Amino acid sequence: MSTISTRRPGDGRAGAGRTGPGRARTGAGRPTVGRSGRRPAAPRNSLTHPPRTGAVLVTPAILFVAVFVLAPLVFALYISFTNWPLIGPYRFIGLQNYLTLFQDPVFVHAIGYTLLYTAIVTVPILALGYFLAVLVRARRRGSTFLRTVFFLPYVVGLTTLSFMLVLEAQPGSGAVNMVLRWLGITDGSTAWLVNGPLATVLICVLVVWAVSGLTMVLLMSAMQGIPDEVYESAQLEGASWWQTERMITFPMIRSTVALSVIISVIGSLLAFNQFYILTQGGPGTETTTIVNAIYNRGFVNLQLGAATAESIALVVVIAAVTVFQFWALREKD
């Protein structure tokens, strides 16, 4: 009597080159089935993690921003609607601080002076930084040394350079007057820091010299990203150096130029250290910038509510200027 086999197809001995669906398969990358018939869990990809892992990783950054950025900003906004005196009781006064912003003659003068200072230094910083970037962008002998020398003032910082200039701008003994007297320009007794226009000129020269190194690094990095084949094609077409810079280099680094200008403008609108160290806003209020005026009103006159309103207004203006500059200097298709 014949017996009926209960063996499923493929459960028999493996034939040549034949594998059943229930049989364990071996080989690189082939899944295997255990005796229980369950497929083991796939190995976890090291590049993928559960969603909770990402949440855990970003939580410290979110907490940092919330505690040290968002919370102070909200608290500052609240203070701007009060007459907070820094010391003593205060009360809520609504929009009064904002409505009286331009009734303070010192703040109005500071706005005009800061805009003038920004207009003076922005173009020279970009022009000098572009020239230095062109000078050191090529990989030739000595270019690394020149990059270091040109970038060193920015590394030292405006605060340190300002303290140094306090000594070097002294009448009769400072290096500035000694050099100018040697050149026959002055008699060596010019009091630079007690004269508003002269102090402005001196500070602008200091800032242009100190900050151009950063612009140089940004533009040089963008220039080195331009393929050499583009310049070779321009040379074959007989383009001059000026035509190459105007028609090839500048358009291809337009976004970096925009970034450099925005950094320069924002830094100028927020100028404080060099003016506070060199002139403290004087003589009188002649060299008082916006941040100087805010500092004096908040921490000298103890009108912290009004000073905070001026600060928030400054932040809004800087944001608007930044958006406008990005729009004006955007890359056009």
Per the CB < 8 A criterion, the answer to whether 237 and 301 are in contact is: no
**What is d(CA 215, CA 126) in angstroms, rounded to the nearest whole number?**
7
Reported as a pLDDT band with limits 50, 70 and 90, residue 42 is low
Helix (H, G, I), strand (E, B) or coil at 287: coil
Please compute the mean of the pLDDT values over residues 29-51 and round it to a whole number.
Answer: 56
Sign of the CA dihedral running 196, 198, 200, 203 = negative
Indicate whether 13 pLDDT > 80.
no
Reported as a pLDDT band with limits 50, 70 and 90, residue 40 is low
Which long-range CB contacts under 8 A does 98-104 form with residues at least 24 apart? 98/309, 98/313, 100/306, 101/309, 101/310, 101/313, 104/293, 104/297, 104/306
Please compute the mean of the pLDDT values over residues 270-284 and round it to a whole number.
Answer: 94
**What is d(CA 246, CA 63) in angstroms, rounded to the nearest whole number?**
47
Maximal C-alpha separation, the chain: 131
Kindly state the DSSP code that residue 92 receives in the 8-state scheme. Answer: B
Please compute the mean of the pLDDT values over residues 171-190 and round it to a whole number.
Answer: 87
In CATH terms, the fold of domain 102-226+255-328 is MetI-like fold (1.10.3720)
pLDDT digits 0-9 by tens, 85-99: 878 889 999 999 999
Reported as a pLDDT band with limits 50, 70 and 90, residue 27 is very low
Please compute the mean of the pLDDT values over residues 276-304 and round it to a whole number.
Answer: 93
Reported as a pLDDT band with limits 50, 70 and 90, residue 26 is very low
pLDDT of residue 189: 85
Indicate whether 47 pLDDT > 80.
no
Indicate whether 317 pLDDT > 60.
yes
Reported as a pLDDT band with limits 50, 70 and 90, residue 45 is low
Indicate whether 195 pLDDT > 70.
yes
pLDDT of residue 86: 78
pLDDT of residue 55: 85
Please compute the mean of the pLDDT values over residues 153-181 and round it to a whole number.
Answer: 92
Sign of the CA dihedral running 234, 237, 240, 246 = negative
pLDDT digits 0-9 by tens, 255-267: 899 899 999 999 9
pLDDT of residue 59: 92
Indicate whether 119 pLDDT > 70.
yes
The average confidence (pLDDT) of the chain is 85
**What is d(CA 280, CA 286) in angstroms, rounded to the nearest whole number?**
10
Task: Give the contacts of 181 (CB within 8 A, at least 6 positions apart).
Answer: 187, 188
Structure tokens of 265? Answer: 């403008």
pLDDT of residue 43: 54
Please compute the mean of the pLDDT values over residues 284-291 and round it to a whole number.
Answer: 94
Measured from the Cβ of residue 331, the count of other Cβ atoms closer than 10 Å reads 9
